[in-house]
Amino acid sequence: MNSRTLVGLMLVGLLGLASADHHEHHGSVCALEGEAQVALVGCIQEHLDEAARNKLNTVKERLECDQLHCVFLKICERNNGTLEHSGNEFFTDAEKEG
């Protein structure tokens, strides 16, 4: 995992923890309000490298989404309001390390 992706994921986690304290799934980025979700996904998308972008585009196609925010929403929905373990369904261990 490159440093940009790692920083992006860390920001996602920190923002989620900071803003999810009053929601059912404490600490989940899925608990962010709509505008915050859109802003967060946009920020992450801006900082993705080509390999990560390609992987997420594949997930977008699998989930029949037009935008990355749709992927975020569908994964949260599938995992009962959390992104925990969501990568296991869409990426191999080798892809997650790459």
Taking only the tens place, the pLDDT of each residue in 17-39 is 445 444 454 557 788 888 888 89
User: Quick one: pLDDT at residue 65?
Assistant: 94
CA 79 to chain centroid, in Å, comes to 12
Task: Provide the Cα torsion 52, 53, 59, 61; round to 10°.
Answer: -160
State the pTM of this model. Answer: 0.62
Positive or negative CA dihedral for 28, 80, 67, 35?
A: negative
- In angstroms, rounded to a whole number, what is the distance separating the alpha carbons of residues 83 and 47? 19
Number of domains in the chain: 1
- DSSP output for 7-46: HHHHHHHHHHHHH-TTSSSTT-GGGS-HHHHHHHHHHHHH
Question: Looking at this protein, which amino acid is placed at residue 92?
Answer: T
Residue 93 structural domain: 3-97
